[in-house]
Structure 1
């Protein structure tokens, strides 16, 4: 067919990581709000813009913000102003509770290992790597639903090695090869059956990260209009500068 095509290749999430020797979730699932809770003050971390979204989802779950507010904020600039103005005011009031603002994988690992962080909103990869190495760290989708991302493949305009591209795609979608790749890159595969070839460590980590209804509750990062990205940066900078 004609048109632009995109194929999902790997996926992962942003959720909650914690030190198993220093923090215990209230139930089977942690909450985004655990990062902001007074009970954990001075021992938490997150990434600027996404921890604000997490706070909003946590507040919705606690009945302190209207249900659906955070997703409604993606619809219009006016709605975003309404929701995020309130959200950032709350975040600024709770900012002293946050120990570390991270920007990359190493900062997440260092926070959990060396900086006294006991619970944080993180990507899945860094804490799971620590867990696999035997550190007292757990990663799990929070009760509000982990934020899911998908990286994929498209063919560049003007590509000349078309046969090789399709050969690569066929290899990438072979369940056994996709499962072998899991052992190296550590992400999840959208290929049906790939997990069966991912090994026992991957299987255990996946089960720990997404028990029960966790997969059904995943939140895909919504598409962002240009105005949304710009406004989010303004609100995030206001929080970070406070």
Structure 2
């Protein structure tokens, strides 16, 4: 049993105390971090993105409960969804507006009672009612973090003409073959949709013929990518070393590399930059006290969490008070004067209807196979 599976089984109460004690040393897991079977029945289990299991994101929860929840880390929301569908008992998950509907559709979520959240009144008003936050008339996701999905590029390594003509087309430019990195996501088809001239609504609802038309450029993107990344630390390192000159990236990559002195820029592609909004959703599969789950959601909504998000990661936060207490220089560096307007100016990722989304995924898997 590998370390990740071992921790997941502990969180589910499916490992005996004897096995816990015997295996702890082998996996290097400290007892303070491990839920025994007795503790697992009460411990909150959260499905989370890599890096978001740091206590600074939910300090108020740790202060109240004395310890962090148990975490199950996922690479993408589809992986998390399939894991819960397969019987994994989690209390909360961290999806985005474009994916939370799949959890709702699968009957895995619980409506959120916002009256139980002390920071709800401080959330930017437009975020409280947005698509993905409210589904079927119920709040199913507490909006927390938001940012961009764009192009990070080395200003000293790309061709001189690129800065004057920033575009998603860099991924299809054969001059950069083997020097780029696309995220391992079927959303690459939406990028190609923009390059083909589809509007920002159409790219999330392409017909079979329109989707098939993206295949040639998708194949070129895969060919030109040195690797398809799953964890942004991969591109952070590759951009810093010069192994690649540009990558599909989030704000954190640009912030981190700038602080290291790497000549990096976040493009404003002429076709548009993507924006994402993610948050916390309650699952009906968990075993922990529901009050603990609400404490965790509320901790994520706190202005202190938002301050940390802005200053440490370069992402936005849903609590308007976070922008009042965060370092003004850091906010200025984000290029955000009006958070709501910033979100509106981008191409907000929208949910793709389930059956249609499976076709996006199938196409991407077929195209990826060319690299193997």
Give the alignment partner of residue 50 of structure 1, picking from 178, 187, 191.
187
CA shift at 1:25, angstroms? Answer: 6.1
Give the alignment partner of residue 34 of structure 1, picking from 166, 170, 174.
170
Aligned partners of 1:234 and 1:163: how far apart in 2? 39
Q: Structure 1's 235 and 175: CA in aligned 2 closer, same or farther, altered over 3 A? A: same
Give the alignment partner of residue 4 of structure 1, picking from 116, 130, 138.
138
CA shift at 1:28, angstroms? Answer: 6.1
Mark the runs of 5 or more structure 1 residues left unpaired by the alignment: 61-66
Aligned partners of 2:203 and 2:324: how far apart in 1? 39
CA shift at 1:148, angstroms? Answer: 1.7
2:155 counterpart of 1:20:
yes
2:346 counterpart of 1:218:
yes
Q: Structure 1's 101 and 176: CA in aligned 2 closer, same or farther, altered over 3 A? A: closer
Whether the aligned pair in 2 keeps the contact of 1:35 and 1:121 (CA below 8 Å) is no
1:147 aligned partner: 274
Mark the runs of 5 or more structure 2 residues left unpaired by the alignment: 1-112, 115-136
2:294 aligned partner: 165
CA shift at 1:159, angstroms? Answer: 7.3
CA shift at 1:218, angstroms? Answer: 0.8
CA shift at 1:58, angstroms? Answer: 2.5
- Deviation digits for residues 125-160 of structure 1, max 9, x if unmatched? 223211222222222342222222212234555975
What's the TM-score, normalizing by structure 1?
0.76
Give the alignment partner of residue 363 of structure 2, picking from 220, 226, 235.
235
CA shift at 1:17, angstroms? Answer: 0.2
Whether the aligned pair in 2 keeps the contact of 1:180 and 1:197 (CA below 8 Å) is no
2:239 counterpart of 1:103:
no
Superposition RMSD in Å? 3.4
What's the TM-score, normalizing by structure 2?
0.52
SS of the equivalent of 2:316 reads coil
CA shift at 1:50, angstroms? Answer: 2.8
- Deviation digits for residues 153-189 of structure 1, max 9, x if unmatched? 34555975649936963x6555466324533454211
- Structure of larger gyration radius: 2
Aligned partners of 1:96 and 1:155: how far apart in 2? 40
Aligned partners of 2:224 and 2:293: how far apart in 1? 52
CA shift at 1:102, angstroms? Answer: 1.3
CA shift at 1:96, angstroms? Answer: 3.5
